[in-house]
């Protein structure tokens, strides 16, 4: 039986990897990864030496012939991204969809298994420590830079749900300005920055207060961010 194991990997702290993830990677014939240098660091940290193949595609198919041939030959492949869970605003979705469609017969007769080896995600890590209701939340991935951005902010302001999205240090101030312009006064926002890393930080305040905070601490406008807009009260 061939397998494609989709593995969640650390979002910062290289110790955040499961025993199963290490075992599956150690047994794999090939590791499909976003940036081979990033994945090699993780492998080295855990004493693994494995062949890697770069796989960047989010929504287009790439290297599908090589990958299909390897799976048809009964190989065990692993798909990882640079950090977190593949497919969550990361490469892999189109590949998994294609395999589920084109190799449906093999999946059905048990000669191919596509399995999840769950691990970290910035999404679940942020929600787990923000102390915000997430019984019902809307995850937006990365916000669009131009088209549809304004409409989306209006929707975020209108929804009663918790809203979560990813943000880069280059855009976080612009995004906070837009939130300040759209959200009801007093609506809380949590910023989770550099999770699992040395400068991990969680700050909850209104968008205006967060703008003042980051204005006063420009050294903190760096790293990786998850933004959580609290539900309307």
With CB under 6 A as the contact rule, the residue among 77, 132, 226, 228 that binds ligand SAM is 226
| Complex with ligand SAM: residue 163 or 192, whichever CB lies closer | 192
Residue in the structure block whose two tokens are 């209006």: 154
Residue 167 CB: number of other CB atoms within 10 A?
19
Measured distance CA(181)–CA(227) in Å, rounded: 16
State in angstroms the smallest separation of the CB of 54 from ligand SAM. Answer: 15
Measured distance CA(191)–CA(202) in Å, rounded: 6
State in angstroms the smallest separation of the CB of 117 from ligand SAM. Answer: 13
| Complex with ligand SAM: residue 79 or 207, whichever CB lies closer | 79
85 binds ligand SAM (CB under 6 A): yes
Whether 119 contacts 9, CB under 8 Å? yes
Q: Which residues contact 150 (CB under 8 A, 6 or more apart)?
A: none
Interface region with ligand SAM, contact rule CB under 6 A, candidates 52-60, 69-77, 78-86, 105-113: 78-86
221 binds ligand SAM (CB under 6 A): no
Torsion angle, alpha carbons of 169, 171, 175, 176, to 10: 40
With CB under 6 A as the contact rule, the residue among 54, 62, 75, 196 that binds ligand SAM is 196
State in angstroms the smallest separation of the CB of 87 from ligand SAM. Answer: 7
Question: Could you tell me if residue 131 is left (phi over 0), alpha (psi between -120 and 50 degrees) or otherwise beta?
Answer: left
Q: Which residues contact 121 (CB under 8 A, 6 or more apart)?
A: 8, 11, 84, 85, 88
| Complex with ligand SAM: residue 77 or 83, whichever CB lies closer | 83
With CB under 6 A as the contact rule, the residue among 35, 194, 201, 209 that binds ligand SAM is 194
| Complex with ligand SAM: residue 43 or 195, whichever CB lies closer | 195
Three-state secondary-structure class, residue 121: coil
83 binds ligand SAM (CB under 6 A): yes
- Total number of residues shown for the chain: 233
2 binds ligand SAM (CB under 6 A): no
Burial group, residue 187, by CB count within 10 angstroms (0-12, 13-18, 19+): middle
* Residues 111-130, interacting with ligand SAM (CB under 6 A): 121-123
201 binds ligand SAM (CB under 6 A): no
With CB under 6 A as the contact rule, the residue among 50, 113, 197, 220 that binds ligand SAM is 197
Residues that bind ligand SAM (CB under 6 A): 11-12, 81, 83-85, 88-90, 121-123, 166-168, 192-197, 224-226
């Amino acid at each position: 039986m061939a397998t494609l194991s989709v593995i969640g990997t650390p979002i910062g702290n290289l110790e955040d990897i499961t025993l199963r993830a290490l075992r599956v990677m150690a047994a794999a014939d090939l590791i499909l990864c976003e940036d081979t240098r990033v994945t090699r660091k993780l492998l080295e940290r855990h004493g693994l030496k494995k062949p890697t193949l770069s796989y960047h595609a989010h929504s287009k198919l790439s290297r599908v012939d090589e990958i299909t041939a390897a799976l048809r030959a009964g190989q065990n492949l692993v798909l990882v991204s640079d950090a977190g869970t593949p497919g969550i605003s990361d490469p892999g979705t189109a590949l998994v969809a294609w395999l589920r469609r084109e190799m449906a017969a093999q999946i059905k007769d048990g000669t191919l298994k596509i399995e999840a080896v769950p691990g970290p995600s910035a999404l679940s890590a942020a929600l787990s420590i923000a102390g915000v209701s997430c019984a019902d939340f809307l995850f937006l991935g990365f916000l669009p830079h131009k088209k549809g951005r304004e409409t989306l902010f209006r929707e975020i302001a209108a929804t009663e749900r918790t809203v979560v999205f990813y943000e880069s240090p280059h855009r976080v101030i612009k995004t906070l300005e837009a939130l300040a312009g759209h959200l009801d006064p007093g609506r809380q926002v949590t910023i989770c920055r550099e999770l699992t890393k040395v400068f991990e930080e969680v700050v909850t305040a209104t968008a205006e207060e967060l703008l003042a905070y980051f204005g006063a601490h420009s050294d903190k406008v760096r790293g990786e961010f998850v933004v959580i807009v609290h539900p309307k009260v």
